[in-house]
Structure 1
Amino acid sequence: MSVEPLQTAGPGPYTVPYGRLVPVTVYFDDLDALGMLHNARYPLLAERAWGEYWHAQGFAFDGDWATAGDMCNVIKEMRLTYERPITRAGRYAAHLWVERLGRTGLTYGFRICSADGTETYAEGHRVLVRVDFATMRPTPWSDRARAIADGLRRPEAGAA
């Protein structure tokens, strides 16, 4: 899976005015007994998309938390609103962006949407806090992580 603009057999690549569209796949076994994507799968799709994005930027976790750096972070808050159900398996996208970047915290937004980004199925945000593995206390993001996150910032409301 690539984090480049989504390529499909139809028109594309698809772009969004801010952030990134990362392709995600819904499989038949992700659907619940009513034939809808199970509610717990939406945040999982966003999580996997963010993992793909950061991995493509050179950030990875090899199992050693002491050397994980920026990958050593914890979730402080998560909010998710379901707009309409996904009712079949197939290719979709996660639209990812950064809402706020603080010294130790990062709030990112996401939408689970159609592959072209035009239809929204669910949207939300998640607040992460970068922690030092030895102390489990908040610690600043690296300059490299900050620069990458800055490139995904959502413009302020009303900004041109």
Structure 2
Amino acid sequence: MDVTIHPAPDAGRASFTLPVRVYFEDTDAGGVVYYANYLKFCERARTEWLRTTGVVQNRLATEQNILFVVRSVAADYLRPAVLDDLLEVITTIDKLGRASLDFAQQVRRDGQLLFEARVTVACVASGAMRPTPIPPAVRAQLASLV
């Protein structure tokens, strides 16, 4: 998978870019990407970025009983993507809280903005599903990206 991590051009913070090809299964009856699939593309990008920094969510769940869960999403659908488009999902961490992360995400095609979202992800204890502080080692890794 060819991914890139680079400074965000507008904020000077690190950002992560994940290429995503649009397949037939991603489209609706009108031939455009089904709206919920943009959220799936964004989830993949967040997960892959965390993985590249050494934050492996499966390991956190099994070894520390910590999960990252989506708390809220605000999304804007600006232009449609269609079958065979090669998209870029660009992810930036806007804010690192004590027990949460705010992500800014964009989906672009040839530089053109198609979709953007703000996603808040909470750190929770897996048993109680209650907010818990982000573990110090994980927090240190994430802080280098803000």
TM-score normalised according to structure 1 size: 0.76
Cα displacement (A) at 1:15: 7.0
* Alignment-derived partner of residue 45 in structure 2: 49
CA gap 1:91/1:56 in 2 versus in 1, 3 angstroms: same
1:83 aligns with 2:83: no
Please give the alpha-carbon distance, in whole angstroms, between the structure 2 residues aligned to 1:142 and 1:128: 15
Give 3-state SS (helix, strand or coil) of 1:141's partner: coil
Could you list the runs of 5+ residues in structure 1 that have no partner in the other structure? 6-13, 154-160
Write the letter of the residue equivalent to 1:3.
Answer: V
Cα pair distance change 1:2/1:142, threshold 3 Å = farther
Note the residue ranges of structure 2 that are not aligned, 5 or more in a row: none
Aligned alpha-carbon RMSD (Å)? 2.4
Structure 1 stretches of 4+ with a deviation exceeding 3 A read: 61-66
Which of 130, 133, 138 is 2:126 aligned to? 133
**What SS does structure 2 have at the residue aligned with 1:144?**
helix
| Residues 123-160 of structure 1: CA deviation (Å, up to 9, x unaligned) | 0111111112233221111233323333333xxxxxxx
Name the one with the larger helix percent: 2
- Whole-Å Cα distance in 2 between the matches of residues 75 and 135 of structure 1? 16
Match of 1:35 in 2: 31
Q: Tell me by how many angstroms 1:16 deviates.
A: 4.1
Q: Deviations over 1:96-130 (max 9, x none)?
A: 0011111011111100112x5x2111001111111
Are the counterparts in 1 of residues 22 and 82 from structure 2 also a CA contact under 8 Å? no
The 1-side partners of 2:73 and 2:87 are apart by 21
Rate the CA distance shift 1:58–1:111 in 2: closer, same or farther, 3 A: same
Paired residues, number: 142
TM-score scaled by structure 2?
A: 0.83
* Aligned-partner SS, 1:43: helix
Identity between Structure 1 and Structure 2 (%): 27
Looking at secondary structure, tell me which structure has more strand per residue.
2
Question: 1:115-134 to 2 correspondence within 5 Å?
Answer: 118-134=111-127
